[in-house]
Amino acid sequence: MKKLLLAGTLGLMIISCSKKENTTEVASSDAAPVSAPAQSNLSGDQIMETLDCSGCHSVNERMIGPSYKEIAAKYSEKDIDLLASKIIDGGSGVWGGVPMAAHPQVSKEDAKKMVEYILSQKK
């Protein structure tokens, strides 16, 4: 009896799973495009307050990552694009073994504002 019940249940599962649903497929050209990160109207330090930066960085003291003053001492205005890319893509190996998390939701323009704020901490 159990075998018959199991066979019947299995048969219903096969039939129900094999039926095609009446759905319409969306052509790839009709699909919503993947949007780029939106630029905010906030300043660099305000953007950083909305993110997780303070969990690893502070202005004056090394925490898990370098302080903003340490970063400012090591880099200059010519490094803005490089550092903005590191904010967006993440990075590792420059300041130790702990990698910096990527922030793909940050636009390139906002990342540059963040870097400009960090570089303004230069002594």
Q: What pLDDT is recorded for position 81?
A: 97
- CA dist 65 and 32 (Å) reads 38
Q: What pLDDT is recorded for position 75?
A: 97
What does the DSSP 8-state code read for residue 94?
S
Look at residue 91 and give its three-state secondary structure: strand
Q: What pLDDT is recorded for position 37?
A: 66
- CA dist 119 and 75 (Å) reads 7
Say what the pTM is: 0.69
Q: What pLDDT is recorded for position 16?
A: 40
The two tokens of residue 52 are 């997780």
Q: What pLDDT is recorded for position 1?
A: 54
Q: What pLDDT is recorded for position 65?
A: 95
Q: What pLDDT is recorded for position 73?
A: 97
Q: What pLDDT is recorded for position 29?
A: 46
Tell me the average confidence (pLDDT) per consecutive run of 10 residues in the chain, 123 residues long: 47 42 43 59 93 95 96 97 97 92 96 97 85
